[in-house]
Amino acid sequence: MDEQDAKLERLFSLSVEKSVLGSLLLDNTNFDTITGDLTPDDFFSPMNQELYREIFQAIEKENFVDPVTLVARMGRTGEAEKELKLYVLSLIESAPSSYNVRSYIKILKEKRILRYLTDELKDINEKIFAGKVDIDEFLDEIEARILNVGDHFKSRQSSYATMKSVLMPFIAKVEKLMSEKKGVTGVSTGFTRLDHMLSGMQPSDLLILAGRPSMGKTAFAINIAVNAAMSGDCPVGIFSLEMSREQIVSRMISSIGRIDAHNLRSGMIKDEEYEKLTSTADLLSKTSIYIDDTPALSIHALLARARRLKKERNIQLIVLDYLQLMRGEEGMENRVQEITNISQGLKRIAKEINIPVLALSQLSRKVEERPDKRPILSDLRESGSIEQDADVVMFIHREEYYKKDDVNLQGLGEVIIAKHRNGPVGSVKLAFINKFTRFDNLEDREFNL
């Protein structure tokens, strides 16, 4: 065996593949042991892939397969049939004892992972030599792709849990909530009525905050991020694809310090405002808020950076501004597919890291064409997958933007909860202070809007 053959041998074992197939033919009861872990791709040989597929289908449909029925299912004739019969008989001779089946499966899976890794590394190598790459983004992509290898194969492992193992921690959690009497089980938004409806932003949830331009999406999201970071031990990661980190900080200072945003941008601030500026800056400097303003971030890069922030800073909330400025994986045929890829990726991040992800989204122009400007779910731009993947869909809406002469609407905003997978839908009225780019809780009173 030369060096090249030795290298290839590390990526597959035909003898082990034959042993696993033989064990299935010899004893169909091994089916339940094997099929939960294996797919045809776990076999390197195309012939063994085909045989496993036929064995799988035969046992699934007819609950039985042996060498004779397997050969019949394959539909070979003539010399090809003779060769197939000899090969299938050799599988029986290769069959291990039932005790060894699990160890053989482990070998197959490990070699499949090595082949998968080899393919990923080959693609990475080709990209390096194909031309210029953005090294920072490329490193993020490499990290995400390598970690995805582990995720891909872990997801195929047995994932069931006994009812007892789930119930015990659930009861303990309920008892803890009963003793605390807070009513907020997730990350607080800082807005009382919204927290009441959501019970806070829940771990592993993807929350979409959508609205037309000038409604205050970014302002509201920044308010939530700051409220969460200042209310307790809640590190927050902000990914701003539209605004720079300086612009984000400017909005935070204006909102928290109640400093006129225009004065802050122009530098025309008064002495009393400067005192607010320094005290607010000192307050914000003590929070655990991490801002990444990389433009046109890919879903691969976001996943890698989110993982890193979780590991290094233990972030409890991600805010993304905004979804349509992201890039999906390569090879998407159109923008709808790309948005689908992005929304699914965001949900995956929320679930994997087990923190809420608050992602801002645009709305289509259809809103402007209707007499009633209040958004509905079908207004979500470019893809129905956003609605499908999201656990919560909220719309930020300010009717005063369309009816500037109506004094009853001035300074009012509304959060419309249009989808809530695990709770009620409805709307929450808020106060909006435009010059501070700030939303506030509204007093408990009725408005005739």
The encoded tokens of residue 252 equal: 């935070």
Q: Tokens 């034959």 map to which residue?
A: 18
Q: 62-92 pLDDT, tens per residue? A: 778 888 888 888 888 888 888 888 888 888 8
Place of tokens 């099929």: 35
Please say if the pLDDT value at position 436 is more than 50: yes
Interval 168-184 mean pLDDT: 71
| pTM to 2 decimal places | 0.67
Q: Is pLDDT larger for residue 428 or for residue 105?
A: 428
What is the C-alpha separation between 209 and 217, in angstroms, rounded?
Answer: 7
Q: What is the pLDDT of residues 120-133, one digit of tens each?
A: 888 888 888 877 67
Q: Is residue 387's pLDDT more than 80?
A: yes
- Higher local confidence (pLDDT), 317 or 449: 317
Domain segments of the chain as ranges: 3-113, 186-441
What confidence tier does 13 reach under pLDDT thresholds 50, 70, 90? confident
pLDDT of residue 445: 41
* Given 81, 242, 329, 387, the catalytic residue: 242
Could you read off the pLDDT of 391-422 as tens digits, one per residue? Answer: 999 999 988 888 887 878 888 889 999 999 98
The answer to whether 361 touches 218, Cβ cutoff 8 Å, is: no
Told to judge if 83 belongs to the known catalytic residues of this protein, a careful annotator would answer: no
Residue 400, pLDDT score:
85
Helix axes 271-285, 245-257, angle to 10 degrees: 110
Q: Looking at per-residue confidence, does 140 or 297 come out higher? A: 297
Question: Residue 139: pLDDT band by 50, 70, 90 thresholds?
Answer: confident
The two structure tokens encoding residue 330? 């390569």
* Position 285 pLDDT exceeds 80: yes
Task: Please name the fold of domain 186-441.
Answer: Rossmann fold (3.40.50)
Mean pLDDT of the chain: 82
Please tell me the CATH superfamily of domain 3-113, with its number: DNAb Helicase; Chain A (1.10.860.10)
What residues contact 397, with CB distance under 8 A and at least 6 apart? 211, 215, 373, 374, 375, 413, 414, 415, 416
pLDDT at 448 over 50: no
More confident site: 105 or 315: 315
Same fold, 3-113 and 186-441: no
Please determine, for residue 96, whether its predicted confidence score (pLDDT) is greater than 60: yes
> 397 - beta bridge partners?
414
